[in-house]
Structure 1
Amino acid sequence: MRKARAVLVSAVLATGMSLSLGAAPAHAETLNGIYRDYSECQRVGSYGDDQGWWDDWRCEWMNQYRYYFLYS
């Protein structure tokens, strides 16, 4: 009985983990580049929008790294 319970618990945990790992929030953003200049970040963001690679994008300054991060 112990072995059957251990196998059942393992199967339930594995199923739960596999379902939760595949889920991502609907508003998840992807990092698409790191740039030293704001103008370069804006240029690449606009180009990606024109090419249809992403619908919305933003350049965010990270003071701790001293770079601009392009998210879409």
Structure 2
Amino acid sequence: MRKARAVLVSAVVVLGASVMIGATPAQADARLSGVFRTSAECERIGAHGVAQGWWNDYSCVWEGRYRYYFLYA
């Protein structure tokens, strides 16, 4: 089951990256920084990234077709 989950998450990340290539200008400066199952986990990592100085701002976006939250920073 773990291998299947790892393959699924990898596929979602690749699909997310392909979505970013065709992103609108509003997200042109944002990059995909993570993929998460829950909103709380996405928000926690986003806030941690701000606290660590990895990025200045972030957004967690639910992608219903993938059923994951995408962290853009």
> Which band: TM-score by shorter chain?
0.5 to 0.7
TM norm structure 2: 0.61
The letter of the residue matching 1:42 is E
Per-residue CA deviations over 1:3-46 (Å, capped at 9, x if unaligned) read: xxxxxxxxxxxxxxxxxxxxxx7x51110000000000000000
1:63 is aligned to 2:58:
no
1:39 is aligned to 2:40:
yes
TM-fit CA distance, 1:63:
0.4
Unpaired stretches in structure 1, ≥5 consecutive residues: 1-24
What pairs with 1:17-36 in structure 2 (closer than 5 Å)? 27-36=28-37
The letter of the residue matching 2:38 is D
The alignment-based identity, stated in percent, is: 49
SS in 2 for 1:28: coil
Root-mean-square deviation (Å) = 1.2
Unpaired stretches in structure 2, ≥5 consecutive residues: 1-24
Provide runs of 4+ in structure 1 moved above 3 Å.
Answer: none
